[in-house]
Amino acid sequence: MSTFINPTELELKEETVVCINRVSKATTGGRSMRFNSVVVVGDGNGHVGIGFGKANEVASAVNKARENAKKRIFRTPLINGTIPHRIDIKYGAVRLMLKPASPGTGIIAGGPVRAVLEQVGISNILSKNTGSTNAINVVKAVEQGLRDLRDPLKVSRQRGVTLKELFV
């Protein structure tokens, strides 16, 4: 199970704004506009945080999302720039498959998935989204999938085998 990590311990690379949505509410005086945004921060070395922010201006929404993301950083296991095993994720109406790839493949993924995987530090992966393409839900699905990944070292200890035997 992954736990949250103190952001001051990490050297965060940068943040990526995944999406900005304009939301309007009809009132008696007209429409009031607000904005929400999703931001991903990471160190490119297996640590990533995903944040959501809402405000009356775009810049404020992005700042709130960035601060939220820094508070929600978690670690994901990586092996040679890819994930340790294939994972199929179902989050709401999103159906997402993440599959490890050999070196030189690159990140084969759509916009929201690519943004998260680049911040994690994954350089070779295959992905396919067959469900909803709502950016917020897709990012949450990727987060759930990365949290569900199992560390090969822990699995080999639990099974009582070596790492070489685990991958054969």
Taking a C-beta distance cutoff of 8 angstroms, is the pair 113, 140 a contact? Answer: no
Give me the amino acid identity at 71: K
CATH for 77-155 is 3.30.230.10
What b-and-e string marks burial along 146-167, b requiring 16 or more CB atoms within 10 Å of the CB?
A: beebeeeeeebeeeeeeeeeee
Task: For CATH 3.30.230.10, list the domain ranges present in the chain.
Answer: 77-155
Continuous segment of H or E residues that includes residue 73: strand 73-75
Residue 121: partners with Cβ closer than 8 Å, 6 or more residues away:
42, 43, 44, 45, 46, 78, 81
Cβ(109)–Cβ(83) below 8 Å: no
Q: What is the pTM of this model?
A: 0.88
Domain with CATH 3.30.160.20 in the chain: 7-74
Tens digits of pLDDT across the chain (168 residues): 555 666 566 677 788 999 999 999 999 999 999 999 999 999 999 999 999 999 999 999 999 999 999 999 999 999 989 999 999 999 999 999 999 999 999 999 988 999 999 999 999 999 999 999 999 999 999 999 999 998 888 888 888 888 778 777
CATH topology of domain 7-74: Double Stranded RNA Binding Domain (3.30.160)
Determine contact, residues 165/157, Cβ cutoff 8 Å. Answer: no
